[in-house]
Chain A
C-alpha cells in the first residue's frame, strides 16, 4: 500500500474542492428526492389544488378589491406554497439519525460543503416545482405578463427564495437532529405566509394585518413576483424582492452555519 502523504488544499484549490464535493452531495440529495416521488407530488398537488380552488371561488371578490388578473395574482401563492411545503432539512435529520452524517464528517470534505450541497439540492427542487406549477397554471389559462423570459425570472426568484427559506429548516435540523422538531418547525413558519399579501392586495389588508405585512419579507417577494406575472418588467419591484430574499437568506444561512458549527468540532 502507498504511503499516507497528504496536505490539505489551500486557497483557490480549497474553494474548488469545496464546490466539487458540494455538487457531489447535492446530486446525492437530488437523487434521494427523485426516489421519493410521493414527497415531490404532494408538494406539487397541494399548491395546485389551492390555486384552482381560489381561482374558481374568489374571482368576484378579488375584482371588487381591484385585482384585474386574479390567476396571475394567485400563481405566486401556489409557487411559494410549493417552495415552502417541503420541510427542508428532513433528509439531513435522516442522515444524522442513521449515522450517515457522521460518516460524512470523517471524510476530508469541508463541513460547509455538506450544508451547501443540501441547500443546492433544495434550490433545484424548488425551481423544478415552480416550473411545474407555472406550466400547469398556464395550462389552466394563466395569462403571463412578461412571457417566457419573465417566467424564467419568476422560477429563478422562487428558487432563491426557497434557498433562503431552507436555511431555517437546515438550522433546526442541525440544531436538534430530530425529525419531528424539524417538521413541526415548518408549521411554525406557516402563519408568516398568511400575514402578507398572499391572498389579497396590500390595500385590502387593514389594521394589524397591514402592519404585519409591511414587516414580512414575503410581501416584497410577492410584489416582485406579481410585477412579473401581472404588470411587466419593473426593476424596482424586482430589486425589492431580491433584497427581501437576500435579507432572509443572510439570517437563515447564518443560523444554519452556526448550527453546523455547533454540531461539528
Chain B
C-alpha cells in the first residue's frame, strides 16, 4: 500500500471560521426519542479530544448508531446540544458535513459504479476540481490497496474490499474527524485485522480523530485511546481501556455452577477474604478479587464445603467485558451475541 499524503486535498475557502481545535466532539445531554416513546439515546455526554481514537462500545441496540447519526447530522436530536469539529450541530450542519468523514454500518456504496468512479464523484461533490478528484481517487485506491480493482464495478467487490472502499470515500475530502460505525461488522478475522491496521495508521500518520463504534471488546481495547461504554442509551463508564480495567483491579474469577445452586454458591464464596464484588450470571458466578494468588483453591474449598459441585473455574485479568459487567450487570459478549437491531 502507498504512503499517505494529504497534500492538496483540502479546498480552503476565504472568510472562514476556524473551529476549536482541541475538542473534536463535545456533546451534552444528547437524547433521541422516536415516535411511540422509544428512547434510543437517553442523554449522552461526550468529550472527544482532537487526534485521539475514541471507542464507543456497547451491545447491539445500545444507542451507538443513533448517536453517530445525530453527530453526523443525519438525525435531529430530541434534546441536548453538541459541537462536532468545532461547529454547532444545529446551526452549522453544513460546516460539519464538510469537516467530517463518515463510514456507516452499512457500507453505503453504489454497486453499479466502479471504485474509481465512486471516489471521483465523492470528491466532486465536496467541491474538488475534476483533475484533483481523479488524483485523489488514485491516491486513496493506492492507500487502501484497491488499485487492481479500481475499474471494476463495486458490486463485484468482497465484503472487506467494500469496507476499505467505504473508508476511502470517507477520506476523499481530507477530513480531520472520521466517524466509523461498526467498521468491521461482518468481516472475517483477516479482513478485520486489515481494517484495524488502516484505522491505526490513519490516526497515527494523518493525525485523524477517529470516533469508532463497536460491540467487539478486542476492537475497542486495541484501537481506542479512550472509550465510553453505552448501554440502553446511557453511558455507563468512560476512560482509557487501561484505567477502566484498573477500576476492576486484581483478578476476575468465573465459576460455573448449576443454576439452582447459584444463591448457595454466592453465600459460600461470600466469605472469601479478598472478595471485592460478586455477580450472579445465568449459570456462573463472577468474583472480582483484589489478589488472584491462591483464590481458585479457596473458592473450590468453600464450595466443596457447602456441598456444591463446581462445573468450571477460570481466573483472568480483567477485560472490558468485566467493566461492562460491573457497570450493567450483564456481559457485553452475551449481549452482542443476542443481537438485535442497531439503534
Contacts and interface: CB of A to CB of B under 8 A. Distances in A.
Contact of B174 (A2, A21, A28, A103): A2
Contacts of B9: 1-2
B110 interface: yes
Interface in B123-156: 124-127
Given A6-B99, A32-B112, A99-B108, A109 B176 contact: no
5 contacts: A6-B17, A7-B15, A99-B107, A106-B100, A265-B75
Given A1-B207, A103-B104, A98 B76 contact: no
Given A4-B98, A6-B95, A104-B125, 10 more contacts: A1-B206, A21-B125, A32-B113, A98-B106, A99-B104, A102-B104, A103-B109, A106-B73, A107-B97, A265-B75
B13 A7 contact: yes
A106 B102 contact: yes
B93 interface: yes
A71 B59 CA distance: 66
A151 B213 CA distance: 57
A2 B74 CA distance: 26
A106 B72 contact: yes
Interface of B: 6, 9-10, 12-19, 72-76, 85-86, 93-95, 97-100, 102, 104-113, 117, 121-122, 124-127, 169, 174, 176, 206-207
Contacts of A4: 10, 18-19, 85-86, 98-99, 176
B159 to A, nearest CB: 14
A28 B119 CA distance: 12
Interface of A: 1-8, 17, 21, 24-25, 28, 31-32, 35-36, 95, 98-109, 265
A175 to B, nearest CB: 15
A81 B207 CA distance: 56
A99 B76 contact: no
Contact of A28 (B93, B97, B110, B127): B110
Contacts of B206: 1
Contacts of A36: 112
Best-surrounded residue of A7, A31, A95 (most CB of chain B within 10 A):
A7
A24 B6 CA distance: 25
B113 A31 contact: yes
B110 A265 contact: no
